[in-house]
Protein backbone atom coordinates (compact mmCIF):
# COMPACT_ATOMS: atom_id res chain seq x y z
CA UNK A 1 0.00 0.00 0.00
CA UNK A 2 1.61 3.26 -1.08
CA UNK A 3 1.96 6.23 1.29
CA UNK A 4 -0.28 8.38 -0.91
CA UNK A 5 -3.11 5.88 -0.48
CA UNK A 6 -2.72 5.88 3.30
CA UNK A 7 -2.75 9.69 3.29
CA UNK A 8 -5.91 9.61 1.18
CA UNK A 9 -7.67 7.34 3.64
CA UNK A 10 -6.63 9.55 6.54
CA UNK A 11 -7.92 12.65 4.74
CA UNK A 12 -11.24 10.99 4.00
CA UNK A 13 -11.45 9.96 7.63
CA UNK A 14 -11.12 13.63 8.59
CA UNK A 15 -13.55 15.00 6.02
CA UNK A 16 -16.13 12.30 5.43
CA UNK A 17 -16.60 9.83 8.27
CA UNK A 18 -19.81 10.64 10.07
CA UNK A 19 -19.61 9.95 13.77
CA UNK A 20 -22.49 8.07 15.33
CA UNK A 21 -22.00 8.46 19.05
CA UNK A 22 -21.74 5.18 20.94
CA UNK A 23 -21.35 5.23 24.67
CA UNK A 24 -19.86 2.77 27.04
CA UNK A 25 -16.55 1.56 28.31
CA UNK A 26 -16.30 -1.12 25.61
CA UNK A 27 -16.49 1.47 22.84
CA UNK A 28 -13.86 3.64 24.53
CA UNK A 29 -11.53 0.68 24.86
CA UNK A 30 -12.07 -0.28 21.22
CA UNK A 31 -11.36 3.27 20.01
CA UNK A 32 -8.24 3.51 22.18
CA UNK A 33 -6.86 0.23 20.76
CA UNK A 34 -7.70 1.39 17.23
CA UNK A 35 -5.92 4.75 17.58
CA UNK A 36 -2.87 2.91 18.98
CA UNK A 37 -2.83 0.65 15.89
CA UNK A 38 -3.56 -2.39 18.08
CA UNK A 39 -5.95 -3.71 15.44
CA UNK A 40 -6.20 -7.26 16.82
CA UNK A 41 -7.55 -5.99 20.15
CA UNK A 42 -9.73 -3.39 18.47
CA UNK A 43 -11.17 -5.98 16.11
CA UNK A 44 -12.24 -8.22 18.98
CA UNK A 45 -13.85 -5.30 20.87
CA UNK A 46 -15.67 -3.90 17.82
CA UNK A 47 -17.02 -7.37 17.06
CA UNK A 48 -18.53 -7.44 20.55
CA UNK A 49 -20.10 -4.04 19.89
CA UNK A 50 -21.40 -5.32 16.53
CA UNK A 51 -23.21 -8.15 18.31
CA UNK A 52 -24.90 -5.56 20.51
CA UNK A 53 -25.76 -3.11 17.69
CA UNK A 54 -25.60 -4.97 14.33
CA UNK A 55 -27.26 -2.08 12.46
CA UNK A 56 -24.74 0.56 13.55
CA UNK A 57 -22.87 1.72 10.42
CA UNK A 58 -19.94 3.15 12.40
CA UNK A 59 -19.32 -0.08 14.32
CA UNK A 60 -19.51 -2.13 11.13
CA UNK A 61 -17.09 0.26 9.46
CA UNK A 62 -14.50 -0.15 12.22
CA UNK A 63 -14.92 -3.92 12.17
CA UNK A 64 -14.08 -3.78 8.48
CA UNK A 65 -11.15 -1.40 8.99
CA UNK A 66 -9.56 -3.61 11.66
CA UNK A 67 -10.14 -6.75 9.58
CA UNK A 68 -8.49 -5.07 6.59
CA UNK A 69 -5.42 -4.06 8.62
CA UNK A 70 -5.17 -7.66 9.82
CA UNK A 71 -5.62 -8.86 6.20
CA UNK A 72 -8.77 -10.79 7.10
CA UNK A 73 -10.19 -9.88 3.72
CA UNK A 74 -13.39 -11.94 3.75
CA UNK A 75 -14.41 -10.53 7.13
CA UNK A 76 -13.58 -7.00 5.94
CA UNK A 77 -15.74 -7.39 2.80
CA UNK A 78 -18.69 -8.63 4.90
CA UNK A 79 -18.42 -5.69 7.31
CA UNK A 80 -18.11 -3.10 4.53
CA UNK A 81 -21.08 -4.65 2.72
CA UNK A 82 -23.18 -4.15 5.85
CA UNK A 83 -22.15 -0.47 5.96
CA UNK A 84 -23.14 0.03 2.31
CA UNK A 85 -26.51 -1.63 2.89
CA UNK A 86 -27.15 0.94 5.62
CA UNK A 87 -25.59 3.83 3.69
CA UNK A 88 -24.85 3.15 -0.03
CA UNK A 89 -23.05 6.51 -0.38
CA UNK A 90 -20.63 6.00 2.52
CA UNK A 91 -17.62 7.36 0.63
CA UNK A 92 -14.89 6.17 2.92
CA UNK A 93 -16.20 2.62 2.83
CA UNK A 94 -15.99 2.66 -0.97
CA UNK A 95 -12.40 3.85 -0.64
CA UNK A 96 -11.56 1.11 1.84
CA UNK A 97 -13.07 -1.41 -0.57
CA UNK A 98 -10.84 0.00 -3.32
CA UNK A 99 -7.83 -0.48 -1.07
CA UNK A 100 -8.92 -4.03 -0.23
CA UNK A 101 -9.33 -5.01 -3.88
CA UNK A 102 -6.01 -3.36 -4.70
CA UNK A 103 -4.21 -5.43 -2.07
CA UNK A 104 -5.86 -8.59 -3.42
CA UNK A 105 -4.85 -7.58 -6.97
CA UNK A 106 -8.48 -7.40 -8.07
CA UNK A 107 -7.70 -4.21 -9.93
CA UNK A 108 -10.88 -3.84 -11.99
CA UNK A 109 -12.98 -3.99 -8.82
CA UNK A 110 -10.65 -1.50 -7.11
CA UNK A 111 -11.06 0.86 -10.05
CA UNK A 112 -14.87 0.61 -9.90
CA UNK A 113 -14.93 1.46 -6.20
CA UNK A 114 -12.59 4.40 -6.71
CA UNK A 115 -14.73 5.73 -9.58
CA UNK A 116 -17.68 5.85 -7.15
CA UNK A 117 -15.53 7.90 -4.75
CA UNK A 118 -14.49 10.34 -7.48
CA UNK A 119 -18.13 10.90 -8.49
CA UNK A 120 -18.78 12.48 -5.10
CA UNK A 121 -18.12 16.07 -4.03
CA UNK A 122 -14.69 15.88 -2.39
CA UNK A 123 -12.32 18.42 -0.82
CA UNK A 124 -9.52 19.32 -3.26
CA UNK A 125 -6.76 17.59 -1.27
CA UNK A 126 -8.81 14.39 -1.04
CA UNK A 127 -9.61 14.49 -4.76
CA UNK A 128 -5.91 14.95 -5.65
CA UNK A 129 -4.95 11.92 -3.56
CA UNK A 130 -7.81 9.90 -5.03
CA UNK A 131 -6.65 10.75 -8.54
CA UNK A 132 -3.11 9.64 -7.65
CA UNK A 133 -4.53 6.35 -6.36
CA UNK A 134 -6.51 5.93 -9.60
CA UNK A 135 -3.35 6.56 -11.62
CA UNK A 136 -1.60 3.78 -9.70
CA UNK A 137 -4.47 1.39 -10.40
CA UNK A 138 -4.44 2.32 -14.11
CA UNK A 139 -0.69 1.58 -14.25
CA UNK A 140 -1.24 -1.80 -12.62
CA UNK A 141 -4.01 -2.60 -15.10
CA UNK A 142 -1.56 -2.23 -17.97
CA UNK A 143 0.02 -5.47 -19.16
CA UNK A 144 3.42 -3.78 -19.13
CA UNK A 145 4.77 -2.47 -15.83
CA UNK A 146 8.06 -0.71 -15.31
CA UNK A 147 9.97 0.31 -12.20
CA UNK A 148 13.38 0.50 -10.66
CA UNK A 149 15.80 2.44 -8.52
CA UNK A 150 19.10 4.30 -8.58
CA UNK A 151 21.28 4.10 -5.48
CA UNK A 152 24.52 6.03 -4.98
CA UNK A 153 26.70 6.24 -1.91
CA UNK A 154 30.05 5.68 -0.29
CA UNK A 155 31.63 3.67 2.47
CA UNK A 156 34.73 2.54 4.30
CA UNK A 157 36.24 -0.97 4.51
CA UNK A 158 38.67 -1.47 7.40
CA UNK A 159 40.34 -4.53 5.81
CA UNK A 160 40.06 -4.26 2.04
CA UNK A 161 42.11 -7.37 1.17
CA UNK A 162 40.80 -9.55 4.03
CA UNK A 163 44.34 -9.81 5.43
CA UNK A 164 45.29 -11.64 8.60
CA UNK A 165 47.20 -8.69 10.03
CA UNK A 166 50.83 -8.31 11.14
CA UNK A 167 51.19 -11.62 12.98
CA UNK A 168 52.99 -14.88 12.32
CA UNK A 169 51.65 -18.27 11.30
CA UNK A 170 53.29 -21.57 10.35
CA UNK A 171 53.01 -23.46 7.06
CA UNK A 172 53.05 -27.18 8.02
CA UNK A 173 54.55 -28.41 4.74
CA UNK A 174 57.55 -26.10 5.19
CA UNK A 175 57.53 -25.88 8.98
CA UNK A 176 58.59 -22.24 8.91
CA UNK A 177 56.96 -19.13 10.41
CA UNK A 178 55.65 -16.49 8.02
CA UNK A 179 54.32 -13.01 8.80
CA UNK A 180 50.85 -12.07 7.65
CA UNK A 181 50.02 -8.92 5.73
CA UNK A 182 48.98 -5.78 7.60
CA UNK A 183 45.34 -4.75 7.35
CA UNK A 184 44.65 -1.88 4.97
CA UNK A 185 41.54 0.27 5.17
CA UNK A 186 40.16 2.22 2.24
CA UNK A 187 37.15 4.30 1.28
CA UNK A 188 35.00 3.63 -1.77
CA UNK A 189 32.10 4.94 -3.78
CA UNK A 190 29.39 2.76 -5.22
CA UNK A 191 26.26 2.92 -7.33
CA UNK A 192 23.48 0.50 -8.19
CA UNK A 193 20.95 0.78 -10.99
CA UNK A 194 17.92 -1.54 -11.05
CA UNK A 195 15.37 -1.70 -13.84
CA UNK A 196 12.38 -4.05 -13.65
CA UNK A 197 9.82 -4.93 -16.29
CA UNK A 198 6.75 -7.13 -15.88
CA UNK A 199 4.43 -8.38 -18.60
CA UNK A 200 1.06 -9.84 -17.69
CA UNK A 201 -0.18 -12.42 -20.19
CA UNK A 202 -3.79 -11.55 -19.55
CA UNK A 203 -5.48 -13.14 -16.56
CA UNK A 204 -4.12 -11.48 -13.45
CA UNK A 205 -3.23 -14.07 -10.90
CA UNK A 206 -2.03 -16.33 -13.74
CA UNK A 207 1.13 -16.17 -15.86
CA UNK A 208 3.46 -13.19 -16.18
CA UNK A 209 7.05 -12.57 -17.28
CA UNK A 210 9.27 -10.82 -14.73
CA UNK A 211 12.47 -9.27 -16.12
CA UNK A 212 15.21 -7.33 -14.37
CA UNK A 213 18.54 -5.68 -15.11
CA UNK A 214 21.05 -4.74 -12.40
CA UNK A 215 24.28 -2.77 -12.80
CA UNK A 216 26.61 -2.28 -9.83
CA UNK A 217 30.02 -0.70 -9.41
CA UNK A 218 32.31 -0.26 -6.41
CA UNK A 219 35.42 1.89 -6.84
CA UNK A 220 38.06 2.18 -4.10
CA UNK A 221 40.06 5.31 -3.42
CA UNK A 222 43.44 3.54 -3.36
CA UNK A 223 42.97 -0.21 -3.77
CA UNK A 224 42.05 -0.29 -7.45
CA UNK A 225 42.79 -4.02 -7.63
CA UNK A 226 39.54 -4.52 -5.72
CA UNK A 227 37.40 -2.34 -7.97
CA UNK A 228 34.27 -4.26 -8.93
CA UNK A 229 31.72 -3.93 -11.73
CA UNK A 230 28.74 -6.29 -12.05
CA UNK A 231 25.99 -6.65 -14.65
CA UNK A 232 23.11 -9.05 -14.07
CA UNK A 233 20.15 -10.00 -16.25
CA UNK A 234 17.24 -12.24 -15.30
CA UNK A 235 13.99 -13.33 -16.88
CA UNK A 236 11.44 -15.40 -14.97
CA UNK A 237 8.16 -16.85 -16.26
CA UNK A 238 6.00 -16.55 -13.14
CA UNK A 239 2.70 -18.11 -12.10
CA UNK A 240 0.67 -16.74 -9.21
CA UNK A 241 -2.66 -17.80 -7.79
CA UNK A 242 -4.16 -16.74 -4.46
CA UNK A 243 -1.42 -17.39 -1.88
CA UNK A 244 1.12 -19.14 -4.13
CA UNK A 245 3.76 -17.82 -6.53
CA UNK A 246 6.13 -19.96 -8.61
CA UNK A 247 8.93 -18.50 -10.78
CA UNK A 248 11.39 -20.12 -13.20
CA UNK A 249 14.26 -17.61 -13.48
CA UNK A 250 17.01 -17.72 -16.11
CA UNK A 251 20.03 -15.54 -15.27
CA UNK A 252 23.24 -14.16 -16.72
CA UNK A 253 25.94 -12.38 -14.67
CA UNK A 254 29.12 -10.64 -15.82
CA UNK A 255 31.78 -9.59 -13.31
CA UNK A 256 34.80 -7.33 -13.84
CA UNK A 257 37.58 -6.74 -11.29
CA UNK A 258 40.09 -3.92 -11.74
CA UNK A 259 38.61 -3.24 -15.14
CA UNK A 260 39.27 -6.76 -16.42
CA UNK A 261 36.89 -9.60 -17.16
CA UNK A 262 36.80 -11.96 -14.18
CA UNK A 263 33.70 -14.17 -14.29
CA UNK A 264 30.61 -14.95 -16.36
CA UNK A 265 27.69 -16.93 -14.90
CA UNK A 266 24.80 -18.59 -16.71
CA UNK A 267 22.08 -19.97 -14.48
CA UNK A 268 18.54 -21.26 -14.12
CA UNK A 269 16.34 -22.38 -11.27
CA UNK A 270 12.95 -22.45 -9.60
CA UNK A 271 11.63 -20.52 -6.62
CA UNK A 272 8.28 -20.39 -4.92
CA UNK A 273 6.55 -18.45 -2.16
CA UNK A 274 3.44 -19.25 -0.15
CA UNK A 275 1.43 -16.98 2.15
CA UNK A 276 0.87 -19.09 5.25
CA UNK A 277 -1.46 -16.53 6.79
CA UNK A 278 -1.93 -12.76 6.56
CA UNK A 279 1.17 -12.17 8.71
CA UNK A 280 3.65 -14.81 7.54
CA UNK A 281 5.19 -16.12 4.33
CA UNK A 282 7.61 -18.87 3.37
CA UNK A 283 9.69 -19.09 0.20
CA UNK A 284 12.30 -21.46 -1.15
CA UNK A 285 13.93 -22.73 -4.28
CA UNK A 286 16.86 -24.16 -6.17
CA UNK A 287 19.31 -22.57 -8.60
CA UNK A 288 22.12 -23.83 -10.81
CA UNK A 289 24.93 -21.65 -12.18
CA UNK A 290 27.82 -22.44 -14.47
CA UNK A 291 30.72 -20.10 -13.76
CA UNK A 292 33.30 -19.34 -16.45
CA UNK A 293 36.43 -17.70 -15.04
CA UNK A 294 38.76 -15.60 -17.18
CA UNK A 295 42.53 -16.07 -17.04
CA UNK A 296 42.08 -19.17 -14.87
CA UNK A 297 42.30 -22.89 -15.49
CA UNK A 298 39.00 -23.82 -13.91
CA UNK A 299 35.25 -23.35 -14.17
CA UNK A 300 32.62 -24.06 -11.50
CA UNK A 301 29.18 -25.66 -11.39
CA UNK A 302 27.27 -24.15 -8.45
CA UNK A 303 24.12 -25.63 -6.89
CA UNK A 304 22.10 -23.72 -4.27
CA UNK A 305 19.07 -24.71 -2.19
CA UNK A 306 17.45 -22.04 -0.01
CA UNK A 307 14.44 -21.46 2.21
CA UNK A 308 13.29 -18.26 3.94
CA UNK A 309 10.54 -17.46 6.41
CA UNK A 310 9.16 -14.04 7.32
CA UNK A 311 6.55 -13.02 9.88
CA UNK A 312 5.04 -9.80 11.22
CA UNK A 313 5.15 -9.87 15.02
CA UNK A 314 2.36 -8.27 17.01
CA UNK A 315 0.85 -4.94 15.99
CA UNK A 316 4.03 -2.88 16.42
CA UNK A 317 5.31 -3.43 12.85
CA UNK A 318 8.13 -5.79 13.87
CA UNK A 319 9.16 -8.19 11.12
CA UNK A 320 11.22 -11.33 11.78
CA UNK A 321 13.08 -13.04 8.95
CA UNK A 322 14.78 -16.44 9.07
CA UNK A 323 16.91 -17.68 6.19
CA UNK A 324 19.06 -20.69 5.40
CA UNK A 325 20.78 -22.10 2.32
CA UNK A 326 23.01 -24.98 1.28
CA UNK A 327 25.40 -24.61 -1.64
CA UNK A 328 27.72 -26.98 -3.49
CA UNK A 329 30.49 -25.75 -5.78
CA UNK A 330 31.86 -28.39 -8.16
CA UNK A 331 35.13 -27.72 -9.98
CA UNK A 332 35.46 -28.37 -13.71
CA UNK A 333 38.92 -29.57 -14.79
CA UNK A 334 40.78 -27.87 -11.94
CA UNK A 335 43.81 -28.89 -9.91
CA UNK A 336 43.25 -26.25 -7.24
CA UNK A 337 42.18 -27.10 -3.69
CA UNK A 338 40.20 -23.93 -2.96
CA UNK A 339 37.43 -24.37 -5.53
CA UNK A 340 35.29 -27.37 -4.65
CA UNK A 341 33.34 -26.89 -1.43
CA UNK A 342 30.05 -27.20 0.43
CA UNK A 343 28.57 -24.20 2.23
CA UNK A 344 25.87 -23.84 4.88
CA UNK A 345 24.45 -20.39 5.52
CA UNK A 346 21.80 -19.44 8.05
CA UNK A 347 20.74 -16.32 9.87
CA UNK A 348 17.98 -13.99 10.99
CA UNK A 349 16.99 -10.36 10.83
CA UNK A 350 14.62 -8.24 12.86
CA UNK A 351 13.25 -5.01 11.42
CA UNK A 352 10.90 -2.34 12.70
CA UNK A 353 9.19 0.76 11.37
CA UNK A 354 9.42 3.33 14.15
CA UNK A 355 7.49 5.91 12.14
CA UNK A 356 6.11 6.03 8.59
CA UNK A 357 9.46 7.54 7.55
CA UNK A 358 12.06 5.88 9.80
CA UNK A 359 12.93 2.18 9.96
CA UNK A 360 15.78 0.02 11.19
CA UNK A 361 16.92 -3.60 11.03
CA UNK A 362 19.39 -5.84 12.82
CA UNK A 363 20.74 -8.99 11.21
CA UNK A 364 23.08 -11.93 11.81
CA UNK A 365 24.40 -14.50 9.32
CA UNK A 366 26.60 -17.54 9.93
CA UNK A 367 28.42 -19.17 7.01
CA UNK A 368 30.29 -22.48 7.29
CA UNK A 369 32.39 -23.60 4.32
CA UNK A 370 34.09 -26.99 4.03
CA UNK A 371 36.50 -27.62 1.15
CA UNK A 372 36.66 -31.08 -0.39
CA UNK A 373 40.38 -31.29 -1.22
CA UNK A 374 43.44 -31.55 1.03
CA UNK A 375 45.62 -28.48 0.70
CA UNK A 376 49.16 -29.50 -0.30
CA UNK A 377 50.73 -26.71 1.78
CA UNK A 378 48.68 -27.01 4.97
CA UNK A 379 48.21 -30.82 4.66
CA UNK A 380 44.54 -30.59 5.77
CA UNK A 381 41.17 -29.71 4.26
CA UNK A 382 40.32 -26.05 4.72
CA UNK A 383 37.33 -25.15 6.92
CA UNK A 384 36.01 -21.61 7.35
CA UNK A 385 33.34 -20.18 9.68
CA UNK A 386 32.18 -16.62 9.17
CA UNK A 387 29.98 -14.55 11.49
CA UNK A 388 28.46 -11.38 10.11
CA UNK A 389 26.46 -8.76 12.03
CA UNK A 390 24.68 -5.82 10.41
CA UNK A 391 22.77 -2.80 11.68
CA UNK A 392 20.98 -0.64 9.11
CA UNK A 393 18.74 2.41 9.05
CA UNK A 394 16.45 3.94 6.45
CA UNK A 395 14.70 7.29 6.28
CA UNK A 396 12.17 8.42 3.67
CA UNK A 397 12.68 12.02 2.58
CA UNK A 398 9.76 12.10 0.18
CA UNK A 399 7.66 9.74 -1.92
CA UNK A 400 10.46 8.31 -4.11
CA UNK A 401 13.57 9.47 -2.26
CA UNK A 402 15.16 7.86 0.80
CA UNK A 403 18.40 7.71 2.75
CA UNK A 404 20.13 4.58 4.00
CA UNK A 405 23.05 3.75 6.28
CA UNK A 406 24.51 0.54 7.64
CA UNK A 407 27.47 -0.82 9.56
CA UNK A 408 28.60 -4.43 9.26
CA UNK A 409 31.14 -6.45 11.23
CA UNK A 410 32.56 -9.67 9.75
CA UNK A 411 34.74 -12.23 11.50
CA UNK A 412 36.09 -15.15 9.43
CA UNK A 413 37.88 -17.99 11.26
CA UNK A 414 39.77 -20.64 9.29
CA UNK A 415 41.90 -23.64 10.22
CA UNK A 416 44.31 -22.28 7.57
CA UNK A 417 45.65 -19.17 9.28
CA UNK A 418 46.03 -16.84 6.25
CA UNK A 419 42.25 -16.88 5.80
CA UNK A 420 41.41 -15.74 9.33
CA UNK A 421 40.42 -12.08 9.32
CA UNK A 422 37.92 -9.55 10.59
CA UNK A 423 36.66 -6.25 9.22
CA UNK A 424 34.19 -3.40 9.64
CA UNK A 425 32.31 -2.04 6.66
CA UNK A 426 30.25 1.15 6.98
CA UNK A 427 28.31 2.89 4.23
CA UNK A 428 25.69 5.54 3.52
CA UNK A 429 23.50 5.94 0.45
CA UNK A 430 20.64 7.80 -1.16
CA UNK A 431 18.02 6.00 -3.27
CA UNK A 432 15.68 7.33 -5.92
CA UNK A 433 12.89 4.92 -6.86
CA UNK A 434 10.89 5.24 -10.06
Q: How far is the first Cα of the chain from the last one, in angstroms, to the nearest whole number?
A: 16
Tell me the per-residue pLDDT of 108-136, one tens digit each, with 9 for 90 and over: 888 888 888 888 887 887 788 888 888 88
Per-residue pLDDT, averaged over 218-230, amounts to: 95
Q: Per-residue confidence at 334, pLDDT binned at 50, 70, 90?
A: confident
Q: What is the CATH number that goes with domain 145-433? A: 2.40.160.40
pLDDT at 382 over 60: yes
> Could you give the CA distance from residue 365 to residue 414 in angstroms, rounded to a whole number?
17
- What pLDDT, on a 0 to 100 scale, did the predictor assign at position 278? 79
- What pLDDT, on a 0 to 100 scale, did the predictor assign at position 204? 56
Other Cβ atoms closer than 10 A to 379: 10
Q: Are 299 and 276 in contact (CB under 8 A)?
A: no
> Could you give the CA distance from residue 108 to residue 93 in angstroms, rounded to a whole number?
17
pLDDT at 295 over 80: no
- What pLDDT, on a 0 to 100 scale, did the predictor assign at position 5? 54
Tell me the per-residue pLDDT of 53-79, one tens digit each, with 9 for 90 and over: 999 999 999 999 999 999 899 999 999
Q: What is the chain's mean pLDDT, rounded? A: 89
Cα-trace Rg, the chain: 27
- What pLDDT, on a 0 to 100 scale, did the predictor assign at position 6? 46
CATH topology of domain 3-141: 1.25.40
Q: Strands 280-293, 318-332: parallel, antiparallel or unpaired by DSSP? A: unpaired
Tell me the per-residue pLDDT of 273-286, one tens digit each, with 9 for 90 and over: 999 987 899 999 99
State how far the alpha carbon of 365 is from the alpha carbons of 99, 388, 413, in Å. Answer: 37, 5, 14
Beta bridge partners of 98: none
DSSP states of 236-261 as a string?
EEEEEETTEEEE--EEEEEEEETTEE
Q: Per-residue confidence at 423, pLDDT binned at 50, 70, 90?
A: very high
pLDDT at 232 over 50: yes
> Could you give the CA distance from residue 235 to residue 266 in angstroms, rounded to a whole number?
12
- H helix count then E strand count, the chain: 8, 17
Domain coordinates in residue numbering, the chain: 3-141, 145-433
Amino acid sequence: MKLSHIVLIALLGTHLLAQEPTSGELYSSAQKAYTQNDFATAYSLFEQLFEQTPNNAEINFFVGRCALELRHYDEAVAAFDRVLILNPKHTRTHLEMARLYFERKQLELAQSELDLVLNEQLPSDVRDSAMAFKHTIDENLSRHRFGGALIVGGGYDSNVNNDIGAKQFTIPALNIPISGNAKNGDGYGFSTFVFNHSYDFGDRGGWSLENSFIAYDKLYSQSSLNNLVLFSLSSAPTWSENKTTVALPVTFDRVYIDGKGYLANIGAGVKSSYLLDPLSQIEGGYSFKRGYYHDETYDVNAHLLFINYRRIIGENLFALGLHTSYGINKEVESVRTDVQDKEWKYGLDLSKEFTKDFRSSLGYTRTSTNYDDVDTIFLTKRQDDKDQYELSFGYTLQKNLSLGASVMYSNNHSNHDPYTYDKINALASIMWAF
